[in-house]
Structure 1
């Protein structure tokens, strides 16, 4: 039998047949520069606008942080000294520009109430958010990937229909409802996991996983559903391409064709969906902290909001925006790595 020749798409190989190394490196370098430029172009204005709004809302309130910190027995002179210590006696624009200049060096100011550096409070709460968010993203990728691939390979079979029905039902349930359901199931009905609390990963990885798994699953469901749907659709389309037919004729196994070729080309849209899901997971983490009693950034910001502690709120806001920007940068980098033809989409 004569071998059938077929042209694999550019995503099949890291560099592409016949592409000189120098040209490939130039394409990769230009893609990375475009990625950094677009990320900074969007991220910097978002940070500035968000911080300006926060300062503006703080200025509209009638509360005086100095008076609240010192209590009812404070004299006007004491309040003036405290305002001067925190720089609250300066115009709002000057306060904001001063804070922004210090923030660029990593100094987010001091809490009005504890006078502790805001960076210290954030550094204690941030590992909670990072660890559970990373676990949730991992679960979303693995679960969504498995469901999407299985549904695509089923091709209209019972598993495909079951995944479609499951995704339709799960997409209507918010994360906090899923979290409450998980607590009822695994902490009350079948008490095998704790209903709340947190243990640092560095202290005891096993106990950390026991405390982190339920909130991570609650946060991962929405992302897993989105990934499964997108991956199923794109993979079904790839399996109908000519290069897949040619690979079958050449005798390549189904697993090799799917996981070695088709999946890589179908992963682009799913990775894009993942990029949208990560900010949602980061935002929903605030609600998960309340449901599972986690000492993360959400609890820190809620406590600060109740006291009018603007420096802490501002620091948490900037940190969460930074997490979103970094996550989008990583997702876009993964998209460029897995789909090299994306490097040539822009001039």
Structure 2
């Protein structure tokens, strides 16, 4: 019983260490990032009065509107109130329509997270299969075919892929809806039907990155001494691959995914325009175009949280899966 308990305590210690390091990094980064984000209003020179009253508004009218929004108070007081609101999930109020920004972002984020998650899943599964196949059949025609394929799809812009997919599978073959979004709560089938084409358009870049990185990592792992030792000991190729090569080759591939998911959420604005979706990326674009500073600030805060959260998850997986991470290397 002592050995299993020791392993459990050791594994728990690794997880807690990863969480502790991530939190220690997250707190100062979040404080600095939110401070810089909030300073955007002062740096931009934008004002809700200019949006609501127009450029010809009198100084008195501008001062009255800014006082209503609390912008006549000292900068640090405004930042303190805003930061307290963030900690309670309150991202403020939109300058353009007076709506709650947290609610607006929540609606758009549900769309973009659905597309980004599905795109990441497609990219990881297909990229894993292609990268593994190329590594196991390295220097053969299979390896060259996979390498050529991922090279081609890596340079194809998402908006071009989206237009082609929409034209062929939605307009031409009528297999998928050409526009719109249905929440998963209203049915998994319609939800998947509406996010499949946008997710496919975004997944090409993930497929290429995962396949290339995994191929390189697996080929490098096969050249290590521990693989030679496993062959000498008479282990089967299957056991060598899953027990030694894959576990050691996964680390760099998982690390590349650290920023992929937040990037997919941001990049979804392209596919959202093509497929008529009102998601997080499109909301961010509309807020920036209209000069809605509180909305832009809310988008940046949510983006920071997404980046940190996803990187924490990747680090936890790395600590559990890869032997090098388990040893703290």
TM over 0.5: yes
The answer to whether residue 249 in structure 2 is matched with residue 263 in structure 1 is: no
Correspondence for 2:26 among 43, 46, 51: 43
- Per the alignment, residue 272 of structure 2 pairs with 289
Give CA-to-partner distance per residue, 1:103-161, whole Å, 9 cap, x none.
Answer: 11222112223323221112211111111111111111100011011112223221111
The separation in 2 between residues aligned to 1:226 and 1:140, in whole angstroms, is 9
Instruction: Report the CA distance between 1:55 and its aligned residue.
Output: 3.2
Instruction: Report the CA distance between 1:26 and its aligned residue.
Output: 4.5
The separation in 2 between residues aligned to 1:75 and 1:282, in whole angstroms, is 40
- Per the alignment, residue 286 of structure 2 pairs with 303
- Per the alignment, residue 118 of structure 2 pairs with 135
- Per the alignment, residue 210 of structure 2 pairs with 227
Report the 3-state secondary structure (helix = DSSP H, G, I; strand = E; otherwise coil) of the residue aligned with 2:186: coil
Give aligned pairs, total. Answer: 325
The separation in 1 between residues aligned to 2:40 and 2:268, in whole angstroms, is 24
Q: Conserved in 1, the CA contact under 8 Å of 2:120 and 2:261?
A: yes
- Per the alignment, residue 4 of structure 1 pairs with none
Q: Conserved in 1, the CA contact under 8 Å of 2:91 and 2:101?
A: yes
1:230–1:75 Cα change, 3 Å: closer
1:203–1:115 Cα change, 3 Å: same
- Per the alignment, residue 24 of structure 1 pairs with 7
When the two structures are superposed, what TM-score results if normalisation uses the length of structure 1?
A: 0.83
The answer to whether residue 259 in structure 2 is matched with residue 273 in structure 1 is: no
- Per the alignment, residue 231 of structure 2 pairs with 245
Instruction: Report the CA distance between 1:68 and its aligned residue.
Output: 2.7
Instruction: Report the CA distance between 1:215 and its aligned residue.
Output: 1.5
- Per the alignment, residue 194 of structure 2 pairs with 211
The separation in 2 between residues aligned to 1:222 and 1:45, in whole angstroms, is 32
Q: Conserved in 2, the CA contact under 8 Å of 1:151 and 1:160?
A: yes
Residues 232-241 or 132-141, more deviating: 232-241
The separation in 2 between residues aligned to 1:73 and 1:283, in whole angstroms, is 35
- Per the alignment, residue 135 of structure 2 pairs with 152
The separation in 2 between residues aligned to 1:65 and 1:155, in whole angstroms, is 60
**Runs of 4+ with >4 A deviation:** 70-81, 254-257
The separation in 2 between residues aligned to 1:144 and 1:242, in whole angstroms, is 27
1:77–1:154 Cα change, 3 Å: same
Q: Conserved in 1, the CA contact under 8 Å of 2:265 and 2:280?
A: no
Correspondence for 2:40 among 57, 75, 80: 57
What runs of 5+ residues in structure 1 fail to find an aligned partner? 1-18
Residues 303-312 or 213-222, more deviating: 303-312
What runs of 5+ residues in structure 2 fail to find an aligned partner? none
RMSD between superposed Cα atoms in Å? 2.7
The answer to whether residue 76 in structure 2 is matched with residue 90 in structure 1 is: no
Instruction: Report the CA distance between 1:224 and its aligned residue.
Output: 1.4
Q: Conserved in 1, the CA contact under 8 Å of 2:180 and 2:194?
A: yes
